[in-house]
Amino acid sequence: MFKLSAIALLLVSWSCLAAVSQAKSFGSPDLGTDDNNAIATDEETVDPFASCEIYCEGELLHTIQTAQPKLFADSKTFVDMKLNNSPDKTLADFKAMMEAKNQTPSNEDLKNFVDEYFSPKGTELEEWTPTDWTENPSFLDLISDPDLKQWGVELNNIWKILGRKMKDDVLKNPQYYSIIPVPNPVIIPGGRFIEFYYWDSYWIIRGLLYSQMYTTARGMIENFLSIVNRFGFIPNGGRVYYHGRSQPPLLTGMVKSYVDFTNDDKFAIDALEELEHEFEFFTNNHNVTVKNHSLCVYRDSSSGPRPESYREDVETGETFSTNEARELHYSELKAAAESGMDFSSRWFISEDGTNDGNLTNLSTSLIVPVDLNAYLYWNAKIIAEFHSKAGNTKKVTEYETKAEKFLLGIKEVLWNEEAGVWLDYDMKNEKPRDYFVPTNLSPLWVKAFNISESEKISASVMAYIEKHKLDTFPGGVPNTLSYTNEQWDAPNVWAPMQYILVEGLNNLNTPEAKNMSKKWATRWVKSNFAAFSKDRHMYEKYNADQFGVGGGGGEYEVQTGFGWSNGVIIEWLSKHGRDISTGGSGGAAASRVMSIVSVAAVTIVALIAGRVLWQNWFK
């Protein structure tokens, strides 16, 4: 009797403690923006693209990036180097050097020029330990399996490794750098990606929120809002050479995530101007009319090869005999980069209208993508929701109407009754593209469908999964079913795409779909864990055909780190960590011993606590 009441008392005080820490973590975090890092915002004097004349296009870029033999193993190295002089002086001296060398400089001449006029890559950033990082974020308490819990600890540690802060000089002299100055430190993806990336940051920020790093998450969002103010949109990543393209528009979703975690309605309302601006940027510059519906496509607005993959683009461009055809090819490469899926047979249109071919067959801007339109629907819904927090009913109606238009377009143009899912639409051949991509299910994630029809949609989506055997891959659902050696094709699996599938199926809310959702989340966690246990790395992408193996293919070496992979795992350990067990490794026996020890410890603490309380009450 005594023992039972003691445990009951302990449980009561335990849940009070939990409630307190919960309340604390959901409170409004303080705004840890460093005043010293304020960016010059005088629009008259600061051209945010001042360094573009070096890094975005032109003769200097062309000459260095196409030198034979190549000066750098990775084309991205050169465009990430710092200038030692102003862009104008650098260009003038380059021109003089070219003249002195009769326009045919040797590789040695070019190497000398680079050594004299540029500093090594990465010097603009310093490592930064997030000030709000904590050793034991509460998500760890949601994980039962001790091996997974330990992994959670290690993933949380990785945030410290991926923190970067800009040196003050970047903020003072942005024209010497390709990097885009931002006021707050960031968490980067990792590997060769030493700056922030736009859509990566969505999953990174969610991971940070689950890790209770509200200040860092908010700082990253504020960086994006500041970029919208200065540039009018968010470039693909934090470099001026991404100036002609964005990435899947998830800023509004980031703000929504932050507000869901913190209940900070003021933050939502204050962000509205930038969020609307970004929404308009997409709908005004990316729109097409299909079957009398205005929908959006991925599209780039710059000219020339991608500066960071210059040599590669010039090489594939050699297939084309006219400048016009080559320019179009570059533009399609960059549009594919805007989609985040660079590259994939998803964007190939062959001469006979299939997804056969190679990079020369990229036709991204002619394909109406399911995901982009679903995201824009979602953005409009969230903007309407934030306006309703502000009590602005006129704006609520305006954005609800915009959302409805996207919803109708998604239904009329992209929903495919025969396939039972949404499909990208090929405007060139005026037909749906019946190829699997996880984004075919992206409307489920952002609820861009009629919720009353969930049962029907669930039945057809489950049949689609069965038909394409999507549940048969040991390492997760591949990005497509075509093996092309491009990195966004089979057998590669990507964390954000698993996320869209799993969260989307969960939103359908039928037993079958929820079951599959949980199964895929569990498989993903276990497979990532197996790879981590073996290699001590989180990968940028994984292999669908093999359990616990990193992915490959594409243009560059395998990257580790890795922001969005970590973010997705932390979220799913939080959501499913009570139910997933790694089952049976050496750690499991140890874990049983540990749980016996902890049960014993809890009982002893309970006895003592109970006794103290008991005595105090009745004295």
| Token output for 216 | 């860092």
> Residues 124, 300, 342, 571: which is the catalytic one?
342
Nearest to 517 by CA among 584, 458, 460: 458
- Using CB under 6 A as the binding rule, whether residue 122 contacts ligand NAG is answered as no
- Using CB under 6 A as the binding rule, whether residue 356 contacts ligand NAG is answered as yes
Write down the least CB distance from residue 304 to ligand NAG, Å.
Answer: 18
The answer for residues whose C-beta is within 8 angstroms of residue 90's C-beta and 6 or more apart is 54, 60, 83, 84, 117
Write down the least CB distance from residue 411 to ligand NAG, Å.
Answer: 7
Strands (E) located in 169-220: 186-187
Dist CA 540 CA 567 (whole Å): 12
- Using CB under 6 A as the binding rule, whether residue 323 contacts ligand NAG is answered as no
- Using CB under 6 A as the binding rule, whether residue 458 contacts ligand NAG is answered as no
> Residues 486, 503, 540, 571: which is the catalytic one?
540
Cβ-in-10-Å burial (0-12, 13-18, 19+) of 168 comes to exposed
Q: Are 250 and 200 in contact (CB under 8 A)?
A: no
- Cβ neighbours, 10 Å, residue 243: 21
- Using CB under 6 A as the binding rule, whether residue 322 contacts ligand NAG is answered as no
Question: Which residue bears the tokens 């908010």?
Answer: 218
Question: Which residue bears the tokens 């010039």?
Answer: 314
Q: Are 305 and 317 in contact (CB under 8 A)?
A: yes
DSSP, collapsed to helix, strand or coil, labels residue 166 as: strand
Nearer Cβ to ligand NAG (219/476): 476
Q: Are 164 and 171 in contact (CB under 8 A)?
A: no
Nearer Cβ to ligand NAG (230/405): 405
Q: Which stretch binds ligand NAG (CB under 6 A): 17-25, 202-210, 354-362, 561-569?
A: 354-362
> Is 342 part of the annotated catalytic residue set?
yes
> Is 154 part of the annotated catalytic residue set?
no
Q: Are 564 and 520 in contact (CB under 8 A)?
A: no
Write down the least CB distance from residue 325 to ligand NAG, Å.
Answer: 8
Provide the residue type at 569 as one letter.
I
- Using CB under 6 A as the binding rule, whether residue 309 contacts ligand NAG is answered as no
- Using CB under 6 A as the binding rule, whether residue 331 contacts ligand NAG is answered as no
- Total of chain residues touching ligand NAG, rule CB under 6 A: 23
Write down the least CB distance from residue 402 to ligand NAG, Å.
Answer: 11
Dist CA 277 CA 73 (whole Å): 39
Position among 138, 150, 229, 360 found at the interface with ligand NAG (CB under 6 A): 360
Position among 519, 534, 592, 611 found at the interface with ligand NAG (CB under 6 A): 519
- Using CB under 6 A as the binding rule, whether residue 350 contacts ligand NAG is answered as yes
Residue number of the CB closest to ligand NAG reads 350
- Using CB under 6 A as the binding rule, whether residue 287 contacts ligand NAG is answered as yes
Write down the least CB distance from residue 515 to ligand NAG, Å.
Answer: 4
**Phi/psi at 345 (5° precision):** -65, -10
Dist CA 199 CA 189 (whole Å): 10
Write down the least CB distance from residue 370 to ligand NAG, Å.
Answer: 18
Residues engaged in binding ligand NAG (CB under 6 A): 284, 287-289, 292, 294, 316, 319, 350-351, 356-361, 450, 452-453, 511-512, 515, 519
- The catalytic residue positions are 342, 540
